[in-house]
Structures are given as C-alpha cells and as structure tokens.
Structure 1
Amino acid sequence: MFKHDQWVRPDLKRYRGLLFCSLALGVLTFICAGALMFTSGYLIDFSARMPLFAAIYVPVVLTRAFGIGRPVFQYLERLVSHNWVLRITSHMRRKLYQVLEKDAAFIQERYQTGDVLGLLADDIGHIQNLYLRTLFPTVVATILTVIASLAIGWFDWGFALWMALLLLVQLLVVPAWGLWVEAKRKTAQKAMTHDAYVELTDSVLGLSDWVIAQKEPAFLTQATHSWAKLAASTHKSARFTQFRDLISQLAFGVIPVALLIWTSLTWTGTQTAANWVGAFVLVIFPLDQAFSNIAKGVGEWPTYRDSLKHLNAMQPTTRLLPAQQAIPHTFDTLTVAQLSFQYTPEAQRLLTDISFTIHRGEKIALLGPSGMGKTTLLQLVLGDLTPTSGQVTIDGVSTLAYQQHRSQLFAVLDQSPFLFNTSIKNNVRLGNEAASDDQVAWALAQVQLSDLIAQLPQGIDTPMAEAGFGFSGGEQQRLALARILLQDAPIVLLDEPTVGLDPITEADLIRTIFTTLQDKTVLWVTHHLQGVARCDQVLFLEDGRLTMADTPAHLAAANTRYQHLYALDAGK
C-alpha cells in the first residue's frame, strides 16, 4: 500500500527535518525523565549512608538539571511535533480540496455526499493520529529500547538481553495481540462510520420529503441506525482496551522486579555499590509512559489503513482540453450541435443528439421534468463536462477552449447561490473584485435591494451568515444576481433560481432577472412555465432529447401538449 501511496510518503520526505527534530526531542525528554529518576534514586541511597550536603552536591545539581530538562524538552517536542503534523494535515486538506475541485462536476456521480464528508471529517484526522499516536511513540520507544539495552549491557550482557526481551513485549507483543483482536472490529467500525455519514446526510438532505410524507420515525431510524451499531462496537473496543492495558501494566511490572533482583545480586557487595540499587530500579518507571500508548496506536492501524486507501483512491479525472484561447470581446451565436453525453461507456446516456442555437441577446427557456438532464446540459455548455459526442461552440470555437478565463464569458445563477460569512459588499464584489462601493451599490439598486440595505444598521457592510442565513430565498437570489451584474459576463446560465420561492416572490424575481439581464444572452433552466413568455424560444427536454422547440407564443397557440402543461402549471 505504501509503495503507491501519494499522501503519507511525500510528506514524510518533505518535512523530514521537523520529523527528525521531533523524534530527537522526544527521546531527550525520556532520557531526562529516566536520568532524573536515576540520580534521585542514587541521591536517596547515598544520603541515607552519608547525609552531608558537600558529598551529595553533584547528584543534587544533576537532579535539578534533569528535572528542568524533562519539561523543557517535552514542551519543545510538543511544539515541533504538532507543528510538523499540522503542516502535513494542512497540506493534505489543501491537496484533497484541489482533487475535489478539479473533479467538482463529477462529485455527485462518483461519490455520495457522505463519502466526501467522511474524507474531510475523519480520514485526514486519522492520518494525523497515525503520526501522533503510532509513528512517534513507536519510533521513540524503539530508540529507548536500544539505549536501555546498551546501557545495561555495559554491565551485564546477559541481563541486558533479558531486559530487551521484556521491553520488546511492550513494543511488539502487546500491540500485535491488540491489533490481532481488534483488526476486524476496527475495519467494521470504519465501515459503520462511513455508512453513518452516508445515511445521515441522505436523511438530512431529504428532510423535506420525510416531513411531507409524515415519516418522522422512519427518518430517525435511518439517520441513527448506523450510529447505534457504531456505539455498541466502540463500547466493546473500549472494554478490550481496558483489559489489554491491564495486561500491559502487569507485564511492565516484571521489569522493575527483575531490576531489583539483578541489582540485589550484583550491586550489594559493598556499601558504595549499594548506592546504585535505587538508581537502576527507579530509572525504568518513566519509560512506562513511552510504551503505554503504543498498543493503542497500533490497534488503530486498520482505521488508518482504510483512510489511506480512501485518500489514495481520490484521484481527479483527467480532462484533455484544446489549446486555450482569449475570450472574444463579442460573439454572435452559441451553438449546441448534435450533443450527446454519458459519464462512462457503461453508464446510461443522459443526453442524445441535442442541437439548438442561441443568438446574442436571446433568452432561451429550457424546460423538462426533474432528472431529464437539464443541469447536465448547462454543465456541458459551461465546459464543466466534456461531451461524449457533438460540441458546444461560440462562433465556431469550442467552449472548452475558453476554460482558463470562462468567468469572463459565463455567469451562473443556480438554486442555492454561494453566499459567505462576510459582508454584503464582499459577497456582491465576488463578481468583480475591482468594483468600487458605488458600483456595488448600483448593482444592489438594479436588483431592487436598495431599500432593504438602507434599513440595515451597517448598510452594505452588514455581515452575512454562512449560506445567506437571515435573508429570504428571494433576497439571496437578488444578492447573487447583483454579483452577476458586476461580473458583466455576456452569457448568463440560470439553473432553476426560483425553486422553493412562493409564487409572488417568484414572479417578482423573474421580472427583476429579465429586466436587469435584458442585454445579456440567457439560457434559463426551469421545471415550470411561469415567466417563459418573456423568452424568445422554449425548448422541452425529455428523456435526454429535445421534444419541443419553438417560440412561447406559437407553442401556446398551436401545441396541445404545451397548452395542457401550461394549464397544469397554472393550477387550472
């Protein structure tokens, strides 16, 4: 798995200096802790035999030095290790965002919302824990095992091998046992977490349908089923962890007992030599902290492994674009010619042989039931997707050739405009970052928001909540429309911007849209007929094909099906 890893190995190499520094500080922390206990043990024994300050001055000074050194090195190690990990996770999150951003048009096709939330919320955090809870403690404990074995080997190689064996029980045997017992359970918990995110997001996103259907108990059952299973499994893991830690502590208790027996046999021949008994026995206790968390970190390896697999599977879709060209200052026609599209060769075809032409300044309404490919067609026009066959051109040049600067050519207003936690002015100015306050105020006036802004305590500097909370749906759409006016792109794509609005607000917003965009070329996706009389042409998309195409007036006068749809839409 690590051979083809693109998430852990590159960062280990990129920040290897901080890694080595962190590990060195971690080892020094435990060396100081052990030396503190060593000198303290020697000081206790020596003071009992010769309680003269002059005789114990050196061990007193060393005790103070090691006592100060331990917290200092520990503090520095925490700073460096967390700095290292935060740099890596920051880089990972940026990398994940770039992968998702490049593949934005395919996200809903390839991943469920819960999948993406799981990646963002859990998987990056698991990689962070892989470093802090597994990598660091294991490497530091391994180095300490070598140092302790060599130090005791200076006096007795036979006992040094016995001590190395006891330390290896803490370093290898207990973690391996815990991993063996918990491996399947951790893998199952990872799957349960994934399912829980998917079920919860699906339930929440479909909340209005649950309410309309009056199935609140079913909603609660679906939204909490996987979380309940996960909680039960996590409880079992916690109970095993307690038992494993108990066995680990009992096994570690053998080490000071062995040291006590060895020192009693080796260092009690003379009174001077007996001063070292306490030193050798006490030095082992601070090392318990270095070994105690290894089993817990290693036990989480199945979770870390699955997170690595998920992240490495997140590869952006590679698109071959034609040579990029400068945006034309003006254009005459936008042509959709024999356009067909399917996401993969095995997938169902969403659009088949779509052809129509929009002349500069025209307003086209694209109608059809939900799920018929209207939004997909907009993505193809915009260039988010590459057609399976056919093409979308502006004066004969593919729109794919304008992707580097397409914001100068296309503006988009969809069902849920992107509004951010900043001021009204900054939200509108996203359409043109160089716009002055007067230009922002002009755009707001054009979309009939001047009176509302005047009533706010800070005017256009009034802060907005994330997603525009605090403003009505119609006001949110008007703010997004003001942004489009500042953007001043010649082609505007409207993706059902009136969905969810009441009829009066919808009619008022449609009137504002067509008034403010009267000199723009507009392709308007909608699912009903209110306001389509303002358009120059109506296209009806059904089952991926155009089944009607004409002016609104001619369809209203001569097309029976259109007349029937209009009557249904009007509630007649």
Structure 2
Amino acid sequence: MTANLTLFIILLVAIPLVGAGKLDGVLLAVVSLVTLSSFEAVAPLPQAAQMLEASLDSARRLFELVDAEPAVSEPDAPSKPPVSADLSVRSLTFRYEAGLAPALQGADLELTPGRKVALVGPSGAGKSTLLALLMRFWDVPAGTVFIDGQDIRSYRSEDARRLFSLVSQTTYLFTATLRENLRLANPDAGAGDFERALDQAGLRDWFVRQPDGLDTWLGERGQQMSGGERQRLSLARALLQNAPVVLLDEPTAHLDPLTEREIIHTLHAVLKEQTVLWATHSLKGMEWMDEIVVLDRGQVVERGTHRQLMKLDGLYARMWRIQNEALPPDE
C-alpha cells in the first residue's frame, strides 16, 4: 500500500515533467522500478526483527544439543560383536535424574535363547526403562547387563542393538510408501520377503486390497492405516529384521480389546521360535510366557509362571482379576 502510494506521487509529479521535456521518459521508468524494488527489499525487515528472538532461541537449543554429552559412552577398545543372545541382568539400578526415586532398583533377569519372559506391573514400574537400557539408549549406571558373557558396556552400541528388534506402543511410520517403510528394517530384503512378513504379521487381507501393492502410499505418519494395522506393520518390520531377541514394549497399548486380542494371537503364532522379552501392563496372553517378572516401583516383587503367580495370590493375581472383570471373555 505504501509502495503504491509513493509510486503514485512520483508519477503525479514526474509525468508533467516528461511532457515538458524536462525529464527523460527512460529515467522516469528507472525511478519507478527503483521505488518498487526499494519497498520490496525493506518490507520484510519488521517481520525479520520480530522473528529474531525466536531464531536466537532456536540457535541456542541447537548449540545445546551439539554440546550435550552423549547419553551412552562408547568403549575405547570394544569387544567383538556378540554371537549369542544369552542375556543376564544383575542388580540393575537406574534413575533418570539425581534426587529422583530409582526407576529400577536391584532388578535381576535371565533370558536364554528361545525363552519367553514377560515384564508386567503398573505404569511407572520400570518395564520400559529396562528395555531402553538393553537397547543402549542410556548407560547402565549401577549393576550389570551381560550379553554373551560380556558386559553390555564393552560392546559398541550399534553391535548391542543388532541383537534386538523392537515393537513399541508407538509405531512411527514415515511419510512414504509401504515398501520404503519395510525396507528400514532390512535394506537387503526383496518384494517376496516383504510380502512374507506382511502375511506372518496378519496383514495379508489388508495388503491384497491395496491397488498399488508395496508402492501404496501410507500418508503422513501412516494415517492411511488403522492403529491395529500400524502395530501389525511394526511386527512385520521386526520379523524382517530377524534379530535374535524381540522386545515388545506395550505393543497393544491404546488398542480396543478386540484388536488387542487379535494382535496377541498373531504374536503368539509368529514368535513361537523367537526369544521374547515382553513389557506390558496388560495380562492378556501371559499363559504363553515361560516366566513372568512382576515389577512394582522399580523392584522385582514376584516371578514365576502364570499358574504359579495366580496361586501366590499377590500383585499379579490382583491385577489379573481386575483386568478380567473389566474385559469381555475370549470368544
């Protein structure tokens, strides 16, 4: 608006001068263009001044991130990558910040190849924290975690993580095709491997309905799929990764009871031969587990099979009765 008004005033004054021969017409055109260009150059400056403080805050956060100490320290002389997925957790203690109550306190766990162990307990009991420590998202501050007879801290983080495939409660899908999202788990896999994993994860019926097949566009964060379908796709990725140990971190959270039951049946069917560590507050499917470790406020308070824990009539039995009174029976 200001630029147009200024240009109008210049033309109002200069046109009579051109008509009288006192001003060259070419010079008038140049003056007009320079006027418009000047306003275009200056117009963004007020907005830039307003954004300066936000930009400085963003830069400050970036520098803090760059300067931050890594959450995990890498060994100077790393051990050779582990061959066996033989896992032993002894007296593991962890707290997120100094002064806070421990998220884990003196936890013990044994997981040998082919064995299926569940970590159960109320929210905040330390289940997901234990899985995060196994995945080397944080260092082990007290206690020890042994993999294949070696302290987990002696391995490179990348080598330790290769032992695990993770199915979490929040499945992140990229804004890309089905093929590209599956390839993340195994870049060397082919179309046949992708379709086999989808079939095993219970997505065959969904897949055959997609006209573009593996090139189906999943939308932003996989919004073209339902919650249950996204969880099944996460399982398909875990199967493609073919890691020795499958970590399940609340894989049926936020799902309705029917979808939860279907996902658990699928897990039971496709992970029969796998080593499994399953963290959950839901007790559906616990009869399938070789051992159930009950956590409460970061401590192991009970352990045993489903039958043994029900007979013990402790925290696990109380949780089981509450959940089975609230949920419809299996059909």
Are residues 565 and 290 of structure 1, via their aligned partners in 2, closer, same or farther at CA, if it must alter by over 3 Å?
closer
Letter of the 1:504 partner, please give it: L
Q: Does 1:352 align with 2:99?
A: no
Letter of the 1:523 partner, please give it: L
Are residues 295 and 534 of structure 1, via their aligned partners in 2, closer, same or farther at CA, if it must alter by over 3 Å?
closer
The counterpart of 2:151, out of the listed 394, 398, 408, is 398
Distance in 2 of aligned mates of 1:568 and 1:348: 27
Distance in 2 of aligned mates of 1:369 and 1:377: 14
Deviations 1:352-407 (A, max 9, x none): 11111111111110001011221111101111011221122202223342412445
Aligned to 2:321: 567
Post-superposition offset of 1:309: 4.0
Aligned to 1:508: 262
Aligned to 1:496: 250
Distance in 2 of aligned mates of 1:443 and 1:297: 51
Deviations 1:134-191 (A, max 9, x none): xxxxxxxxxxxxxxxxxxxxxxxxxxxxxxxxxxxxxxxxxxxxxxxxxxxxxxxxxx
Are residues 306 and 551 of structure 1, via their aligned partners in 2, closer, same or farther at CA, if it must alter by over 3 Å?
same
Give the aligned CA root-mean-square deviation in angstroms.
3.2
Asked if the contact 1:337–1:356 (Cα under 8 Å) also holds between the matched residues in 2, the reply is yes
Distance in 2 of aligned mates of 1:407 and 1:353: 23
Q: Does 1:317 align with 2:79?
A: no
Distance in 1 of aligned mates of 2:231 and 2:36: 66
Distance in 2 of aligned mates of 1:461 and 1:339: 45
| TM-score using structure 2 length | 0.81
SS of 1:494's partner is strand
SS of 1:518's partner is coil
Post-superposition offset of 1:324: 3.8
Aligned to 2:297: 543
SS of 1:508's partner is helix
| TM-score using structure 1 length | 0.49
Give the gaps of 5 or more residues in structure 2: 1-9, 327-331
Asked if the contact 1:327–1:408 (Cα under 8 Å) also holds between the matched residues in 2, the reply is no
Post-superposition offset of 1:443: 0.9
Are residues 351 and 461 of structure 1, via their aligned partners in 2, closer, same or farther at CA, if it must alter by over 3 Å?
same
Distance in 2 of aligned mates of 1:440 and 1:512: 17
Asked if the contact 2:74–2:156 (Cα under 8 Å) also holds between the matched residues in 1, the reply is no
SS of 2:258's partner is helix
Aligned to 2:171: 417
Post-superposition offset of 1:413: 0.3
Distance in 2 of aligned mates of 1:569 and 1:325: 45
Deviations 1:315-369 (A, max 9, x none): 53324222444433433x2011111111232333211111111111111100010
Distance in 1 of aligned mates of 2:163 and 2:238: 11
Deviations 1:44-83 (A, max 9, x none): 489546xxxxxx8xx666666x569x67xxxxxxxxxxxx
Distance in 2 of aligned mates of 1:485 and 1:310: 37
Distance in 1 of aligned mates of 2:290 and 2:45: 71
Asked if the contact 1:408–1:488 (Cα under 8 Å) also holds between the matched residues in 2, the reply is no
Letter of the 2:310 partner, please give it: A
SS of 1:393's partner is strand
Distance in 2 of aligned mates of 1:450 and 1:494: 22
Asked if the contact 1:382–1:399 (Cα under 8 Å) also holds between the matched residues in 2, the reply is no
Aligned to 2:87: 334
Aligned to 2:236: 482
Distance in 1 of aligned mates of 2:164 and 2:151: 14
Post-superposition offset of 1:304: 4.7
Deviations 1:490-520 (A, max 9, x none): 1111011011223332222112112212222
Aligned to 2:189: 435
Aligned to 1:122: none
Distance in 2 of aligned mates of 1:484 and 1:305: 41
The counterpart of 1:374, out of the listed 127, 149, 153, is 127
Distance in 2 of aligned mates of 1:495 and 1:340: 19
Distance in 2 of aligned mates of 1:476 and 1:426: 14
SS of 2:236's partner is helix
Letter of the 1:506 partner, please give it: E
Asked if the contact 1:327–1:409 (Cα under 8 Å) also holds between the matched residues in 2, the reply is no
Aligned to 1:456: 210
Give the gaps of 5 or more residues in structure 1: 1-36, 50-55, 72-283
Post-superposition offset of 1:521: 1.4
Q: After the TM superposition, which of the residue ranges 542-551 and 388-397 deviates more from structure 2? A: 388-397
Distance in 2 of aligned mates of 1:505 and 1:292: 56
SS of 1:571's partner is helix
Q: After the TM superposition, which of the residue ranges 363-372 and 291-300 deviates more from structure 2? A: 291-300
Distance in 1 of aligned mates of 2:263 and 2:304: 24
Distance in 2 of aligned mates of 1:459 and 1:324: 43
Distance in 1 of aligned mates of 2:213 and 2:44: 55
Distance in 1 of aligned mates of 2:292 and 2:185: 29
Distance in 2 of aligned mates of 1:344 and 1:290: 50
Letter of the 2:144 partner, please give it: Q
Larger Rg: 1
- Equivalenced residue count is 310
Higher relative contact order (CA 8 A, sep 6+): 2
Post-superposition offset of 1:551: 2.3
Asked if the contact 2:135–2:161 (Cα under 8 Å) also holds between the matched residues in 1, the reply is no
Post-superposition offset of 1:450: 1.6
Distance in 2 of aligned mates of 1:289 and 1:488: 58
Higher strand share: 2
